[in-house]
Amino acid sequence: MKAMREPTFLILTALAEGPRHGYGVIQVVRELSDGRVRLLTGTLYTALERLTAEGLVVLDHEELVDGRGRRYFRLTGAGRDALRAETARLRQLATAAEARLGGALRPGVA
């Protein structure tokens, strides 16, 4: 499996708890990344179209709020599987890095 780019990983993570509309995804991604990843609306919807074409995300429903349409997206089973696989891959890499660093990650060790 090919490694995911960070924005893709964060978008899928934002949808892991359930359907969200675009602005909700943007907010969760910003929160998850401590503000490092700030998705623009156009970038998000391009990514959601790609993820939909890949079968990882589907349009859940649409609603009208204050005269504006909101589209809600959710993970598919394949999207959930891909997110789990990427999470395991990242965990394995982090574990390997921690092992090579030895005690350097423990508090009080220089």
Which CATH number goes with the domain that contains 48? 1.10.10.10
pTM of structure:
0.87
Mean pLDDT by 10 residues, the chain (110 residues): 90 97 96 96 95 97 88 97 97 92 64
Question: What per-residue confidence (pLDDT) applies to 49?
Answer: 96
Domain extent for 11: 6-93
Q: Is 25 a domain residue?
A: yes
CA distance 10 to 31: 10
Residue 55 lies in a domain: yes
Sign of CA dihedral 30, 34, 38, 44: negative
Dihedral sign for Cα atoms in the order 71, 79, 48, 27: positive
Whether 1 is covered by a domain: the verdict is no
Answer whether residue 82 is part of any domain: yes
Q: Residue 10: inside a domain, yes or no?
A: yes
Query: For residue 68, what pLDDT is reported?
Result: 87
How far is the C-alpha of 35 from the C-alpha of 49, rounded, in Å? 23
